[in-house]
Chains A and B, each alone.
Chain A
Amino acid sequence: MALNEHKSGGAERDPLLERVYAETGREEPRAELDQAIRAAARREVRARPRALGARLRTWRLPISIAAVVVLSVSLVTLVREEAVDRLEEGFSPRMPEPGIPAAPPFGDAKLKASERAGSPVRTPAPAARALPAPATEQAQRARRRDVPASIGGKRAEPFHAEIREQGADAAEESALEQPAPAGEAAREAPPQGAARAPVPSMQYAPAENEQDLAGPRMLKKSERSLTNGKIATLLQELDKAPPQAWLEKMEALRRQGQNDEADELLAEFRRRFPDHPVPVRKGGPAN
């Protein structure tokens, strides 16, 4: 039967042969030989208890895992600390210098109140011109969004609030220490911010509306016009004049060919009466 299986390409085993083979002599090596071999094996182990390579092979995986974990934790910690440092560095150059009153940030109610009371118009500090305050704040907000919540929420926000408070207090003190020059004299006088020592970049010109804050270009023009003696005289004349008088004056200037002065006057008019319509002048863009 097994032979038939073999002929048909079956298994390479034959149970009958195996049974007969099991009956053959089960010779074994002599006991002395066994002892000699076993003793040699034990001597080998005692002579070289364990190869260094074998020990390293055993610990390779645990050591690798531990190294990966340690590196990951270190990296995460480092990145978090760097993020906090960067955030703090982002604030520190704009910190108000001691002794110099800082203006409150954009939208502060106290500042608006003091301005309404007649405080001088301040020009933005050079740093503030390069990067308008709202944009700076936006950038800071964006940076805060990048920082993990635990950092941005717990550490950065109180810090930011503290600066705001400091700025508001300083502005209040400034308003109290320097009573606002009333009327024309205030506008003729050079801006105090420009005459001062460098103003921290956190400070920027307080304005009545966002258009002024968002448009440093217009402030520059206003600044130029104020330094111009002729325009300054015109502004003195028109200080309390109604809008119609401004428009008539501008029209008169244009008729005289003094377009530069008319433009300067128009810029100041826009600033003072932003919602007043300006009639379109024939052959010109406006008035």
Chain B
Amino acid sequence: MTDQAGKAHATIAEGALRSALPYRARPKRPNALSASLTFGWRALLKIKHVPEQLFDAVGNPIIFTLMFTYLLGGAIAGSPGAYLQYLIPGILVQTVILITAYTGVNLNTDISKGVADRFRSLPIWRPAVIVGALLGDMVRYALASAIVLALGLILGFRPESVVGVVLSVVLIIVFAFSVSWIWTALGLVARTPNSVLWVSTLIMFPLTFASNIFVEPKTMPGWLQTAVIFNPITHLVSAVRGLMYGTIPVGHIAWLLVGCVVLVVIFAPITMYLYRSKK
């Protein structure tokens, strides 16, 4: 590799350098959408170059699915096969929710590496870098969902409505997109990428357990049931279960969409404020 680098040094061409330098024609600046899509493309390239990130993200749910289904499934639902039908929609939600933090992690990495400075000194619509990253992450959420669903199908998960499955994934992605804004705001104040991951895990891990992902809340003590009912993840899981088994849980979906709007309305402006005033 040193050799290769050495060769590259030698080939810096004076003539090519001079002819490449004076390039002053400035095309029309891209609009907000096109700038965002360009950043989305960047996020996709990152998935392509660093696919490990995705495997990390789905490693946990695979372990959870296998462990809960075969160790505890019989005890919880009578048989592992019956429990799987209950668990997969929940695991799907947990998987995607836990990887929402990566948007914030990546943003924080950009800042600590100095790339953010370059983006911020470009004459573009400033939120594009974050909106674009979130668009790219939606693809990541879709991929993670596909992996979990494939795993479920192999193990014997049999949803009743294909349309319901697709709608579920859309609903999960919309919710994950909204939650991501919390982590982008956190990503702008945290000192290191790792601390973003820690804080988000610290918040989201208990939230996914204090929900109906793994067991019906009715077996829990009363105070916990109350907490579970107010947990937005419970509503998401209920909505997803309903959709996958052929019903349309309007109440849960409405509750969720309102929650999404609230999250974005609060955290998107905070993120943008922090981004603009970042030192």
Q: Do A and B come from one complex?
A: no
B contact residues vs A (CB 8 Å cutoff): none
A contact residues vs B (CB 8 Å cutoff): none
